[in-house]
Structure 1
Amino acid sequence: MSLKDTDKFESDYAKIEYIEKDNVVFHVWKKEAHFDDYRKPVMASLEMLRSHKGSIFIVDARNGFEDVKEDVEWGFTYFLPELKRTGCEVWGFILPEISEIEGEIDLWTNEIEKNFRVIRAEKYEDVFEQI
């Protein structure tokens, strides 16, 4: 079974793929990204979520970072409303038990929880144990 070109994306900052067996759009941050370097991978995830209605969105944020104010505003005013329109209902965060970016994660989680079920886990598989 081959992936469609729209089922994967990779840049210096992130790798995103659709995992059919789990119905997951898996977004892995590789390193800190801002503005277009941040938004292009996020848009790729959004496109995959649109293509695979009702899929689960899992973000591996172990290499996470503090977002700049403009990216947070864009995420809250554009990305999250568009994500809701895809039919996605579950957002998984992969993080260590204690992350260096707890404040950033709390900020996003508080906003995400308004429309999605948020699951935090240390490994990809652990997200599914909580679903």
Structure 2
Amino acid sequence: MTEATAIAMAQADEPPPRPLTHDLFRDVLDALSVRLSTVNIVSLRDGIFFADLIFSNGVEVSARPSDSIALALRTGARIFASEEVMQEAGVTIPDDQEDEVEKFREFLDTISPEDFGRAG
């Protein structure tokens, strides 16, 4: 659940009061002048996803996809999934649902918590 929170905070561009582990990792990479280039979600075995982090110096490190995605969102790295993973776990969204999702995103961009008022 910690990784889900870290991903959500990065997507919302909300910095935490204190750096999370993924923020620390990003800062260490910056200090070492190494960039996370790509996250590859490489396989799905027995219901468990596996990912590889690809760094600008050519080093590859195996990692959990949740951590990988949280770090990619903080560093701007590209995220890819293998064809095998997409065939096994991918979800196709019909065009009409994509339109509804886009409309909902636009709605969310225009509201604030104050729009909901308070229950009395």
**TM-score scaled by structure 2?**
0.27
Computing the radius of gyration over CA atoms, which structure comes out larger, 1 or 2?
Answer: 2
- Larger RCO: 1 or 2 (CA < 8 Å, sep 6+): 2
